[in-house]
C-alpha cells in the first residue's frame, strides 16, 4: 500500500499540512464569520421577539387591569343607580300609598257621616210613623181622642232606650 510506504511520508505530510491549513483558513475567515453572523442575527432576532413578547405581555396586563377597573366602576355605578332608583320608587310608592290611604279615609269618613245622617233620619221617620200608628191604634181601641204630643213623647222615650239616642 502506497500510504504505508515510508518514502512518500514527507510529501503526504506536506499536503496534509497544506490541506489542513487551507481548511483552517477557510473556516476561520470565510465560513466561521458567516456562521457567527447567522448565530448573532438569530440571537438578536430571538431577543427582539422576546422583548416584543414581553412588551405585549405588559400591554395585555395593563389592558386587563384597566378593564378590571372599568368593570368595578361600572358595577359600583350600576349598584348606585339601582339603589337610587329603588329608593325613588319606594318613596313614590309610599307617597302614592299615603295619598290613597288619605283619600280612602276621607271617603270612609264621608260615608260614615252619610250613614249616620240617614240613620238619624230613618229613626226620626220611624219615630214619627210609630207615634202616628200608636196614636191611631189608641184612638181606635180607646174610642177617645188621644193627645198626639203625649204619644210622641212616650214613643221618643222608648226609642231612646232602644237606640241610646237623646230625645229629639
Distance CA 110, CA 92 (A): 27
Q: Which residues make Cβ contacts (< 8 Å) with residue 38, sequence separation at least 6? A: none
User: What confidence score (pLDDT) does residue 165 get?
Assistant: 61
DSSP letter for 166, please.
P
In sequence order, what DSSP letters do the residues of 15-64 get, joined into one string?
Answer: HHHHHHHHHHHHIIIIIHHHHHHHHHHHHHHHHHHHHHHHHHHHHHHHHH
159-168 long-range contacts (CB < 8 A, ≥24 apart) are: 159/123, 159/126, 159/127, 159/130, 163/123, 165/120, 165/123, 168/124, 168/127
Which grid coordinates belong to 73? 366602576
Of 49-58, 102-111, 142-151, the range with the lowest mean pLDDT is 142-151
In this predicted model, what pLDDT tens digit does every residue of 39-62 receive, in sequence order? 999 999 999 999 999 999 999 999
Closest CA to 127 of 152, 164, 162: 152
Q: Judge whether 139 and 145 are in contact, CB under 8 Å.
A: yes
* pTM for the full predicted model: 0.43
User: What confidence score (pLDDT) does residue 150 get?
Assistant: 82
Indicate whether 120 pLDDT > 70: yes
Band of pLDDT at residue 144, cut at 50, 70 and 90 = confident
Distance CA 109, CA 84 (A): 37
- Packing angle, helices 32-142 and 148-163, rounded to 10: 150
Which position has the higher pLDDT, 92 or 152? 92
Which grid coordinates belong to 151? 204619644
Which grid coordinates belong to 155? 214613643
Band of pLDDT at residue 166, cut at 50, 70 and 90 = low
User: What confidence score (pLDDT) does residue 159 get?
Assistant: 81
Amino acid at each position: 500500500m502506497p500510504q504505508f510506504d515510508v518514502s512518500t511520508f514527507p510529501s503526504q505530510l506536506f499536503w496534509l499540512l497544506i490541506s489542513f491549513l487551507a481548511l483552517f483558513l477557510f473556516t476561520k475567515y470565510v465560513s466561521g464569520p458567516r456562521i457567527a453572523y447567522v448565530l448573532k442575527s438569530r440571537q438578536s432576532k430571538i431577543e427582539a421577539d422576546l422583548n416584543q413578547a414581553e412588551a405585549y405581555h405588559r400591554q395585555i396586563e395593563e389592558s386587563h387591569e384597566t378593564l378590571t377597573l372599568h368593570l368595578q366602576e361600572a358595577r359600583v355605578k350600576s349598584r348606585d343607580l339601582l339603589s337610587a332608583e329603588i329608593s325613588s320608587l319606594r318613596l313614590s310608592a309610599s307617597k302614592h300609598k299615603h295619598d290613597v290611604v288619605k283619600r280612602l279615609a276621607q271617603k270612609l269618613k264621608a260615608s260614615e257621616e252619610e250613614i249616620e245622617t240617614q240613620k238619624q233620619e230613618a229613626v226620626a221617620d220611624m219615630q214619627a210613623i210609630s207615634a202616628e200608628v200608636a196614636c191611631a191604634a189608641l184612638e181606635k181601641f180607646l174610642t177617645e181622642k188621644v193627645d198626639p204630643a203625649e204619644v210622641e213623647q212616650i214613643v221618643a222615650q222608648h226609642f231612646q232606650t232602644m237606640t241610646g239616642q237623646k230625645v229629639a
